[in-house]
């Protein structure tokens, strides 16, 4: 792949060896550095997009799991209780002073105990 991008470089192409006598070595070196820098940036962009894709897939999976869990819980909870929870959840989302992260941190012992009861830890 690298040779394709450097095909016009006298170092990598026999047909361009004659250019080396016409073009300053500094220009050839600068072009070579530019091409390799662009290839490096392209590689980083591909790597970043792969990480972003994996993150998006993980978020999609969490959303599907959440939807399934909600549907299962609604089968076992009275509609008025579910409605109250839904309202409280939405109010907390809008409340700038409420943080789900802080709530989880403050209730970590209870959450951990519940997980142990279910055999998750």
Where do the structural domains in the chain lie, given as residue ranges?
A: 1-76, 77-121
- Picking from 39, 52, 51, the residue whose alpha carbon sits closest to that of residue 1 is 39
Q: Is the pLDDT of residue 10 over 80?
A: no
User: What is the largest distance, in Å, between two alpha-carbon atoms of the chain?
Assistant: 85
pLDDT reported for residue 35: 85
**Tell me: the pLDDT tens digits for 33-62?**
888 898 899 989 999 999 999 999 999 999
pLDDT reported for residue 8: 67
pLDDT reported for residue 98: 95
Confidence of residue 26 (pLDDT cuts 50, 70, 90): confident
Confidence of residue 100 (pLDDT cuts 50, 70, 90): very high
pLDDT reported for residue 12: 67
User: 19 near 10, Cβ under 8 Å?
Assistant: yes
Compute CA distances 23 → 14, 28, 37, whole Å. 15, 7, 21
User: 10 near 17, Cβ under 8 Å?
Assistant: yes
Mean pLDDT of the chain: 86
């Amino acid at each position: 792949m690298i040779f394709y991008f450097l095909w016009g470089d006298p170092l990598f192409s026999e047909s361009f060896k004659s250019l080396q006598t016409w073009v300053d070595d500094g220009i050839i070196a600068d072009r070579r550095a530019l091409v390799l820098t662009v290839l490096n940036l392209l590689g980083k962009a591909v790597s970043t997009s792969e990480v972003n894709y994996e993150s998006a897939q993980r978020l999609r999976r969490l959303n599907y799991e959440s939807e399934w869990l909600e549907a299962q819980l609604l089968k076992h909870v009275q509609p008025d209780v579910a409605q109250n929870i839904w309202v409280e959840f939405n109010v907390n989302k809008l409340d700038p002073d409420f943080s789900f992260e802080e709530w989880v941190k403050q209730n970590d012992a209870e959450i951990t105990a519940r997980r142990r009861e279910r055999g998750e830890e």
